[in-house]
Every structure is written in structure tokens, then in C-alpha cells.
Amino acid sequence: MDHLPLRLGLTMWSHNHWQQTFYGRGTKNQQRLEKYAQVFHTVEGNTTFYATPTLNTVKNWAASVGEQFRFTFKLPQAITHQRMLKNCHSELNDFINIMSPLHELIGQWSIQLPASFGPEHFDRLIYFCTLFPRDFNLGIEVRHPEFFRKGDAEKRLNHWLIEHKYNRTIMDSRPIFSAEPNSESIIDAQKKKPKVPVHAISTAQRPMIRFIGHPEVNENMPFFEPWVSKLADWIEQGKQPYFMVHTSDNLVAPDLALLLYNRLKNHTNLPDLATFPANNDHGQISIF
């Protein structure tokens, strides 16, 4: 494991709204990942969930980041949602091969399962994970209610994850569901994001938290406070958490991530984040 005690990231690296507030003047689209990776340690690669990139695109991504950066790409929805992990060995191999220029830069491969994937499909998940190379780190996100009821289904899942050193991805959607549905982006997020309990369990060395933030930045602090002690504990245990910050429209996601990181930094030994590239162009900028 590398030297970073925690990896902080966002759900994307390219957003038009961040041109003046984060990237800096004159940044071209193809330079955004490079600028993003100067500050953040990882990114939640949602793009591969919707479409498999070309080999040339993957090579460009690899060339845009330093050797300490780590991607966490989602498996294609054709595998996880349409096939439900069934009879997709060749599709998985094709995807892994396309992504091969990035293998050394991937912190974990994200298997996000739909709410319809329940305990009755569990053996399918067990078999599917044997198809990966042994040195691949896996993060698994479940959404079926039975996996959150602390009964036999959840116990079996957690024991299996611990035994095989797979990370259980933790969704914290409380902030976005506490927001008033007064904008299209909030309404859309509340329709699409799962409203599942927060079970802050670490089953392997890279617990991933997906924090779906409230659009009003300061409203996130009561939800973040419990994570301060939990993340600090995991870091003290030698684990390397991945903390991914979302908001409904992601307009303030970079600044919210910085705020939460600095709050945690007051409680555990974390390195300073690099200054946002835009600040190097024309002074300090705030978007709220």
C-alpha cells in the first residue's frame, strides 16, 4: 500500500462549472484530468459504467496522472445491471484488457450492484469475483434491503468480504435526502440515489465511502462528524480509506471535499491538499 493515509476524490474529473473555480483560465478539456490529479488522490470513474472507453482514451488517461494517483472505475452496467453478473466472462475479460494501460493506477475495481441483486444471487457474486486476477482490489456496493438488515444475508456477505479481503463500498446518502426538493438536480438525486442505512464497516484495507452531500455546504457537517472519528480510527489501524464526495449537481463538490478533508485533518495526520490550480492563476476563489 502507498504512503497516503487517505484518498480523497470526487465522482468526476471534468465539469464545465469548475473552469474558473478549480481548473484555472485557459484549461482545455483534455487538460482537466491532469489538473484534477494535481489536487485529488483518486476519482470515482463513473464513465466506464455507461460506456467502455477506447484503448487510446485509456492511454491518455494514464498519461495525464502521476504514479501516485489511483482510479476507481466502475464495471460496465451491461455486466452488473443487465447481465446481473451472469454469463459475462468474456465481457469482463474484454473490459479488463481495454483498461490494461491503467492497471497499475487502479486503487480498486468497483462492482456496483442494483437493488434487484439480492441474497438469492449471492453465489453468482462469489463466482464472478473469482474471474478477476488475484492482485486486483475489488470494491463491492450492494443495494438490496436484505444486505442492510443485520440478518443472515448481511452476515454472510460481510464474512465473505472479510475472508477474501474485498472492500464493502459504503453509501452515505443522508445529506442529500435531508435537503428540500427545491431544484431539478436534488429531485433527480433523491429519485435515483439509494436510501440505505449507513453501515460503517471495513471489510478490507481500502474502505470506500460515497458521501452524497447536501447542496448547502455547511449542512453537511452534522453528517460528516461521525466519519471524522471512524476515518481516523481506520487510518490508525493502517487502513487507507477512499472518501468520495458527490453533490446533486457537483457544482461545489471540489470545495466541499476540501472542507471535509480539512475537518478530518484536525483529528489525524494528513498531508495538505495542493492548492486548486485556479488559485495559482488569479488568487483565492470561493464558490460559496
CATH of the domain at 121: 3.20.20.410
Is 287 a member of any domain? no
First vs last C-alpha separation in the chain: 36
| DSSP 8-state code for residue 77 | H
C-alpha distance from residue 28 to each of 16, 24, 236 (Å):
10, 10, 40
Residue range(s) defining the domain that contains residue 78: 7-282
- Domains in the chain, number: 1
Is 85 a member of any domain? yes
Is 223 a member of any domain? yes
Q: How many CB atoms lie within 10 A of CB 55?
A: 13
Q: Which residue has the higher pLDDT, 279 or 2?
A: 279
pLDDT digits (tens, 9 = 90+) for 15-53: 999 998 999 988 999 999 999 999 999 999 899 999 999
Per-residue pLDDT, averaged over 214-223, amounts to: 93
pLDDT digits (tens, 9 = 90+) for 63-105: 999 999 999 999 999 999 999 999 999 999 999 999 999 999 9
Is 199 a member of any domain? yes
pLDDT digits (tens, 9 = 90+) for 189-210: 999 999 999 999 999 999 999 9
Rounded to a whole number, what is the largest CA-CA distance in the chain? Answer: 56
Alpha-carbon distance of 59 to 22, in angstroms, equals 24
The C-alpha angle 60, 62, 63, rounded to 5 degrees, equals 65
| pLDDT for the residue 95 | 98
Task: Report whether pLDDT(288) > 60.
Answer: no
C-alpha cell at 94: 474484454
Is 172 a member of any domain? yes
Is 1 a member of any domain? no
Is 194 a member of any domain? yes
| pLDDT for the residue 214 | 94
Residue 98 phi, psi dihedral angles, 5° rounding: -60, -35
Alpha-carbon distance of 59 to 12, in angstroms, equals 18
- pLDDT-derived band at 285 (thresholds 50, 70, 90) equals very low
Is 59 a member of any domain? yes
Per-residue pLDDT, averaged over 106-120, amounts to: 97
